[in-house]
Amino acid sequence: MVAGVSEEIRHAYCTGEDRLMAAKPLTLKLSIAELTERARTCKACDLWKHATQTVFGEGPSIAEIMLVGEQPGDQEDRSGHPFVGPAGKLLEHALEQAGIDRSDVYVTNAVKHFKWEAATRGKRRIHKKPRQSEIEACRPWLDSELEVVKPRVLVCLGASAAQSLLGKDFRVSRDRGKPVASPLAPRVVATVHPSSILRAQDDESRKSQMQLLVEDLKLVARLAKNTKRRS
């Protein structure tokens, strides 16, 4: 069971009526569809003010593997679906190479709204790293997703997701691809966020980094096959 979350999912959710009502306790067994609907009006932090919409997790309501990234990007914010932009396409390709069908995986983010700043030129919206307070405001949603999905393997994509779930001292560069003991899931593994591969300096670097990501995901596939789900 996820630490701090009861069997009935004690979930702090947000209403659209008033930000001061954001941390309202709920003791219900909710489905992913119900959580998604409740999250649409979340105002637990200020990110909703400049985002198009809440981008909740998607995938099987009971999945062997759950992937958690940092936050939605520009295309995710516009479409309302997680991991549909360039990083999502790269991730899908890596999953395929690792023998994992994306349709069998639950994908989500630590933060459900797109945080951005305007480019100095043009109309592009540039990703901006969320603050710790913003990550914490979204944590009840992620805890509830974990409680419903009950993955055999939880995969943290990138430093923000890993540190939000595994502690500020966790370093992806040091501990990627290594199973980590955690109450969050039977097996927890961290690896890089696919967006970091897109930022590689040259094709050779992108190729080598992609191969490392695929190897990490192959480990995830093996762990999912050989690990029992928690009740």
Close Cβ partners of 5 (under 8 Å, ≥ 6 residues apart): 11, 143, 144, 146, 147
pLDDT of 3 above 60: no
Q: What is the largest CA-CA distance in the chain?
A: 52
Provide mean pLDDT across the span 77-99: 97
pLDDT band at 120 (very low <50, low <70, confident <90, very high): confident
CA 168, 174, 179, 181 torsion: positive or negative? negative
Instruction: Give residue 6's identity as a one-letter amino acid code.
Output: S
pLDDT of residue 22: 40
At 28, is the pLDDT very low, low, confident or very high (cuts 50, 70, 90)? low
Region of poorest pLDDT, from 8-22, 40-54, 109-123, 176-190: 8-22
Interval 157-167 mean pLDDT = 95
User: Pick from 145, 70, 137: which is nearest to 109 by CA?
Assistant: 70
Burial environment of residue 3 by CB neighbours within 10 A (0 to 12, 13 to 18, 19 or more)? exposed
Q: Is the pLDDT of residue 90 over 60?
A: yes
Give the residue, 74 or 127, on which the prediction is more confident: 74
**Apex CA 33: angle with CA 32 and CA 36, to 5°?**
85
Percentage of residues of the chain with pLDDT beyond 70: 87
pLDDT over 50 at 11, yes or no: no
Highest averaged pLDDT of the listed ranges 25-39, 52-66, 118-132: 52-66
Residues for the chain: how many in total? 231
How far is the C-alpha of 14 from the C-alpha of 125, rounded, in Å?
Answer: 26
Task: Indicate the domain borders of the chain.
Answer: 10-226
Pairing outcome for strands 10-13 and 24-27: antiparallel
Percentage of residues in the chain having pLDDT higher than 90: 78
pLDDT at 210: 97
pTM of structure: 0.87
Distance separating alpha carbons of residues 48 and 65, to the nearest angstrom: 28
Q: For 10-226, which CATH superfamily applies?
A: Uracil-DNA glycosylase-like domain (3.40.470.10)
Q: CA angle 75-81-87, nearest 5°?
A: 50
Is the pLDDT confidence value at 108 over 90?
yes
